[in-house]
Amino acid sequence: MNKVLESLREGLKEGLGGLAKRDLARTLSRLESPWFDDGAGETAALLDAAFHTQGGTIAGITGPPGAGKSTLIGALVRLWRKDKKTVAVIAVDPSSKISGGSLLGDRLRFDMDGLDEGTFVRSVAAGTRLGGVADSTYPMAVLLQALFDIVLIETVGVGQSETDIRDIADSVALCIQPGSGDSVQFIKAGIIEIPDMLVITKKDMPQARATVADVRSALALYESPPPVFSVAAHHKENDQDMQALADALIRPLSSRPARAKLDHWLEGFVHGLYGTRGTKAEDLQRLQAHSAPFTALCSWLCDKSL
């Protein structure tokens, strides 16, 4: 067992509260800088240990801006906390393309108890990535799933640009706001990759019913359409719908083994650094097959040999 991972886990379990969360936040910050250049390979060893830990479910919550993702996450977290499940949230903030800045304000938008020992929220800037996730999202999710029962990732976007989340999460829910015809058109046109489930948010809005019907009819074109949930995160009386969604999100989907997610990330990462021409296919394959893939990546980056 890795010492850093063990001490993070113990800290969170013993309810060290602020202290443990601060340690975790610091560790996650390391993942946002080039941790793979860290000569001692400490971060890589931590990631390898976390990767081999049979951990929690990673669920992606995606959808266009303002669809109600953060509010929904707050409601889901409250439900899971009633069951004593621990939850970490990674909120990927869309960076402004013009200024390159990111508000990192999402933390404020979650209606969650900041003092609750069993929850943790981290905002990350999406950076230059086209997909709705940041480069650091996968390593962060690997670490957090070793420490929490559930890891939720909020990403912004709809259409092809956010499909990256499918390669990180065990399940993906696409949020659609009532009256937003675009999303339904996207489904009809086959532009969006169909997620594991669709969530029509803001059930209390007058157009909600019609949107559910539109989405269902658009999905009729697909062979095995995903379930559609209709929820109001603002209202307590929709607990049944919310509970059904909460259950569906953490139901294990065997279609995405951890190794396949790692392979995908490694490929994107290595190609991002060297391009397809600068990498030997065998090197990538050897990295992917390695029992300590993150440590192997570090040594490979140091001397390009395995």
Ligand X SMILES: Nc1nc2c(ncn2[C@@H]2O[C@H](COP(=O)(O)OP(=O)(O)OP(=O)(O)O)[C@@H](O)[C@H]2O)c(=O)[nH]1
Q: Which residues bind Mg ion (CB under 5 A)?
A: 69-70
Q: Which is nearer to ligand X, 11 or 178 (CB)?
A: 178
Q: Which is nearer to ligand X, 86 or 201 (CB)?
A: 201
| CA–CA dist 200, 194 (Å, integer) | 14
Q: Near ligand X by CB under 6 A, which window of 8-16, 161-169, 197-205, 295-303?
A: 197-205
Is residue 184 near ligand X by the rule CB under 6 A? no
Q: Which of 234, 264, 271, 286 binds ligand X (CB under 6 A)?
A: 234
Shortest CB 106 distance to Mg ion, Å: 5
Q: Which is nearer to Mg ion, 91 or 266 (CB)?
A: 91
Q: Which of 17, 65, 272, 278 binds ligand X (CB under 6 A)?
A: 65
Q: Which is nearer to ligand X, 204 or 283 (CB)?
A: 204
Which of 80, 297, 264, 69 is closest to 169 using CA atoms? 264
Binding mask 101-140 for ligand X (x = CB under 6 A): --------x-------------------------------
Is residue 47 near ligand X by the rule CB under 6 A? no
- Near ligand X in 67-106, by CB under 6 A: 67-71
Question: Do 93 and 103 meet the contact criterion of CB atoms below 8 Å apart?
Answer: yes
Q: Which is nearer to ligand X, 68 or 139 (CB)?
A: 68
Q: Which residues pair with 121 in a beta bridge?
A: 89
Shortest CB 291 distance to Mg ion, Å: 38
Q: Near ligand X by CB under 6 A, which window of 14-22, 27-35, 65-73, 136-144?
A: 65-73
Q: Which of 46, 133, 233, 246 binds ligand X (CB under 6 A)?
A: 233
One-letter-per-residue 3-state SS of the chain: CCHHHHHHHHHHHCCCCHHHHHHHHHHHHHHHCCHHHCCCCHHHHHHHHHHCCCCCEEEEEEECCCCCHHHHHHHHHHHHHHCCCCEEEEEEECCCCCCCCCCCCHHHHCCCCCCCCCEEEEEEECCCCCCCCCCCHHHHHHHHHCCCCEEEEEEEECCHHHHHHHHCCCEEEEEECCCCHHHHHHHHHCCCCCCCEEEECCCCCCCHHHHHHHHHHHHCCCCCCCCEEECCCCCHHHHHHHHHHHHHHHCCCCCCCHHHHHHHHHHHHHHHHHCCCCCCHHHHHHHHHCCCHHHHHHHHHHHCCC
Structural Rg of the chain based on CA atoms:
19
Residue 56 interacts, among ligand X, Mg ion, none and using kind-specific CB cut-offs from 5 to 8 Å, with none
Q: Near ligand X by CB under 6 A, which window of 63-71, 118-126, 218-226, 283-291?
A: 63-71
- What is the total count of residues that contact ligand X (CB under 6 A)? 17
Shortest CB 61 distance to ligand X, Å: 8
Is residue 66 near ligand X by the rule CB under 6 A? yes
Q: Which of 62, 119, 201, 295 binds ligand X (CB under 6 A)?
A: 201
Q: Which of 4, 16, 194, 205 binds ligand X (CB under 6 A)?
A: 205
Interface residues toward ligand X, by CB under 6 A: 63, 65-71, 109, 156, 201-202, 204-205, 232-234
